[in-house]
Structure 1
């Protein structure tokens, strides 16, 4: 009779039971990870995802998407939000991975160790907008939650009952699926980088355009580069208000009908009145010498001024134009520290003032 070897002599890795061992409880598995290690692994995946998404969104610009104007900027950021949400919701929901997670060999799973599904992924992604937003607290809430929570979960994980674990600790990962995802993610990453390169080249090669802005009654106009836009918050009585708040440059036009003034009122009188108003409205104001100029084939006076508003140092170019029926005040300003670099542009915008014939 042939003697069977003791079961203890059979290597564990060849045991059918060992091969079929179910995955560990995901909460306990996540809890077993070193806090710092899982934090930096998740952070690295998060950074890589954002770099690739930034490359992709930059590439969109090469297809004619412009964020120069307020309206187009709004559409662009809505599109960007949709892309960001779809990226996380679809990829994590269906596979558990993002490109960053796949690269760092971690995966988002539900309590059973499977991809969380679209609903749980949607919850995670929705909360991600607040806790992992680089523009809102820099992702600090997510980092604190991962370090402080018992099972290394960020707030989105806690809300969706999901976990982020190391791929090597799961027993149900398909090698075929891993290979397919590796190929697909590599292609997406390369295309994103190529898109970024074309986007940067396109942005750098664009010829600046100009836009004309009109008063409500369409009687006067002013022209500015396309990165300017209407800004209704500058002055309650302004006829034209435009700005680029990102670059801190502003221009408004105020018109005064001659019918409301004494017939002997001159452009010089108007200039003195504007200077006096500036002295009252701005602290520590200093006014440069007036110069005579021509705007829209009309006599004009221009001067520069500097002062402080709410502790911020501001520099102005004030241009006063007399037409047969009106006096027009064109006020352009920016922060004093930006004035020299923006002076030529502010002068050009001011000089573009025209009456609509």
Structure 2
């Protein structure tokens, strides 16, 4: 049960943190303008960040390290003015499998990445109102088993948009979670997809 509670805590903490940005909404709009055109995803606009010789990922240069985003994340980057947030959380793969087998929540007929996807979707559905999830059909990121989906939903009365990817490494399973306000979806959706596609285990 401890592991299941931990998963719920991870999601709730991430989502509740985002709710504070409504206080910055007017200032953000004045600062960045109302353009909702998609950003350029030229490689020159990104920096490659390596974490503990474990993985690397490309992050927009305007996003800065923000260690206060989440205690469980190994990577935490954000730009509060653009309302863009990215975190990476990794789990020991065997511990994940053993933990959910113990509670009868692991499906032996599915791969580890499919089990992880299914369980995380259930967690999101418990904490996000009016949730809408759209799968990509993606199966690999840089030759690693992976899944990805877009998600919209309401948290604390605010509409958010997410692009979430799950990647199965040799010893870890990773969640790459990107989010912004729903009305900025079309501006940052391609950027979030680029971040996820750049992920690679070292």
The alignment's TM-score, normalised by the length of structure 1, stands at 0.40
Correspondence for 2:199: 353
Task: Give per-residue Cα distances to partners, 1:185-224, cap 9 Å, x unaligned.
Answer: xxxxxxxxxxxxxxxxxxxxxx954222233x23112112
- Alignment match of 1:292 (pick from 138, 151, 169): 138
Matches within 5 A, 1:53-132: none
Correspondence for 2:62: 227
Alignment of 1:276 onto 2:142: no
Equivalent position SS for 1:235: coil
Equivalent position SS for 2:131: strand
Partners of 2:94 and 2:60 in 1: how far apart? 34
Partners of 1:344 and 1:248 in 2: how far apart? 15
Alignment of 1:239 onto 2:74: yes
Correspondence for 1:211: 47
Task: Give per-residue Cα distances to partners, 1:33-63, cap 9 Å, x unaligned.
Answer: xxxxxxxxxxxxxxxxxxxxxxxxxxxxxxx
Following TM superposition, by how much is the alpha carbon of 1:346 offset from its aligned partner in structure 2, in angstroms? 0.9
Following TM superposition, by how much is the alpha carbon of 1:305 offset from its aligned partner in structure 2, in angstroms? 0.8
Q: Structure 1 regions of 5+ residues with no counterpart?
A: 1-134, 136-206
Correspondence for 1:311: 157
**Closer/same/farther in 2, CA of residues 258 and 342 from structure 1, 3 Å limit:** same
Which structure's relative contact order is higher, taking Cα pairs within 8 Å and 6+ residues apart? 2
The number of residue pairs the alignment matches comes to 150
8 Å contact 1:257–1:326 — kept in the other structure?
Answer: yes
Correspondence for 1:254: 89
Correspondence for 1:28: none
Partners of 1:208 and 1:261 in 2: how far apart? 37
Partners of 2:45 and 2:138 in 1: how far apart? 29
8 Å contact 1:313–1:335 — kept in the other structure?
Answer: yes
Alignment of 1:334 onto 2:170: no
Correspondence for 1:100: none
Equivalent position SS for 1:288: strand
8 Å contact 2:97–2:112 — kept in the other structure?
Answer: no
Structure label with greater radius of gyration:
1
Following TM superposition, by how much is the alpha carbon of 1:261 offset from its aligned partner in structure 2, in angstroms? 2.8
Partners of 1:209 and 1:348 in 2: how far apart? 11
Partners of 2:83 and 2:127 in 1: how far apart? 19
Following TM superposition, by how much is the alpha carbon of 1:317 offset from its aligned partner in structure 2, in angstroms? 0.7
Partners of 2:136 and 2:48 in 1: how far apart? 28
**Closer/same/farther in 2, CA of residues 252 and 322 from structure 1, 3 Å limit:** same
The alignment's C-alpha RMSD in Å is 2.0
The alignment's TM-score, normalised by the length of structure 2, stands at 0.68
Following TM superposition, by how much is the alpha carbon of 1:314 offset from its aligned partner in structure 2, in angstroms? 0.2
Following TM superposition, by how much is the alpha carbon of 1:234 offset from its aligned partner in structure 2, in angstroms? 1.8
